[in-house]
């Protein structure tokens, strides 16, 4: 498995049978500005969204149209995107699992909001914010937490799914900060590898993973912090 951090909360997961984009926020993302968009979307088979905020939905409609691939997201968000022209989608909701070719995606809880405000000033609910648990046939289980704070039911999520790899938001202000994210990882999970995210993209959130790394000092877990556009193999 190869995991590429594309900046903010956007990741590419390349496995033996699927190439997945998660929260593909490219246009308007300062952390993506110097990356090759063609390379980022080459061979993509699925797009998976954690929630409906623009810095997570990002370029979903354009990429899905170009590649003719399905989008996996909560029901409300799928219907919203369908009204905007999305043709292929796999709707789900919290607690549900969608089984696809080579992997499954389970919607977990996340403590966050999920809405879109249109040009006329109207707020549209786009369902609940979620984390996404990826189970693969012969590869490590990956948990993209989405945007969230710490919550005690993370212990139950770990018990049910036992994820190996955590994609963990640490940027503060809109998600848990680095110190709290470190506590969540230590108290509730047994990750072998963690890739922190949701930092360094906008001035109002934390610019580095230093607080998280300090909070994980002494913990037996591998923390990977590639530059935006960088990859790790697991």
Across the chain, mean pLDDT equals: 97
- Residue 85 falls within a domain, yes or no? yes
Its domain, for residue 206, covers 2-227
User: Considering the chain, what percentage of its residues have pLDDT values greater than 90?
Assistant: 96
- Residue 91 falls within a domain, yes or no? yes
SS3 for 130-171 is: EEEEEEECCCCCEEECCCCCCCCCHHHHHHHHCCCEEEEECE
- Number of separate domains in the chain: 1
- Residue 77 falls within a domain, yes or no? yes
Pairwise CA distance, residues 120 & 97, whole Å: 35
Pairwise CA distance, residues 157 & 132, whole Å: 11
Tens of pLDDT along 81-99? 999 999 999 999 999 999 9
- Residue 23 falls within a domain, yes or no? yes
- Residue 232 falls within a domain, yes or no? no
**Strand duo 46-48 + 115-117: pairing:** unpaired
- Residue 155 falls within a domain, yes or no? yes
Task: State residue 142's pLDDT score.
Answer: 99
Tens of pLDDT along 49-73? 999 999 999 999 999 999 999 999 9
The CATH number of the domain where 134 resides is what?
Answer: 3.60.15.10
Tens of pLDDT along 134-186? 999 999 999 999 999 999 999 999 999 999 999 999 999 999 999 999 999 99
Tens of pLDDT along 98-133? 999 999 999 999 999 999 988 788 898 999 999 999
- Residue 234 falls within a domain, yes or no? no
- Residue 180 falls within a domain, yes or no? yes
Q: Residues 15, 47, 112, 92: is their CA dihedral positive or negative? A: negative
Question: Rounded to 5 degrees, what angle do the CA atoms 212, 167, 211 make?
Answer: 5
């Amino acid at each position: 498995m190869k995991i590429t951090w594309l900046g903010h909360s956007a990741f590419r997961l390349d496995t033996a049978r699927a190439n997945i984009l998660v929260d593909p926020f490219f246009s308007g993302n300062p952390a993506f500005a110097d990356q090759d968009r063609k390379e980022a979307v080459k061979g993509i088979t699925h797009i998976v969204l954690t929630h409906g905020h623009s810095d997570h939905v990002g370029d979903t409609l354009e990429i899905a149209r170009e590649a003719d691939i399905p989008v996996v997201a909560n029901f409300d968000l799928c219907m919203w995107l369908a009204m905007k022209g999305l043709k292929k989608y796999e709707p789900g909701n919290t607690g549900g699992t969608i089984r696809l070719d080579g992997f499954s995606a389970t919607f977990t809880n996340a403590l966050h909001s999920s809405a879109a405000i249109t040009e006329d000033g109207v707020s549209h609910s786009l369902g609940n914010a979620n984390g996404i648990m990826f189970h693969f046939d012969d590869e490590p289980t990956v948990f993209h937490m989405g945007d969230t704070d710490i919550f005690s039911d993370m212990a139950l999520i770990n018990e049910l799914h036992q994820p190996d790899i955590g994609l963990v938001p640490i940027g503060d202000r809109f998600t848990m900060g680095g110190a709290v994210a470190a506590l969540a990882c230590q108290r509730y999970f047994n990750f072998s590898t963690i890739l922190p995210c949701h930092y360094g993209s906008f001035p109002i959130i934390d610019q580095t993973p230093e607080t998280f790394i300090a909070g994980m000092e002494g913990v037996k877990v591998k923390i990977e912090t590639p530059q935006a556009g960088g990859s790790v193999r697991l």
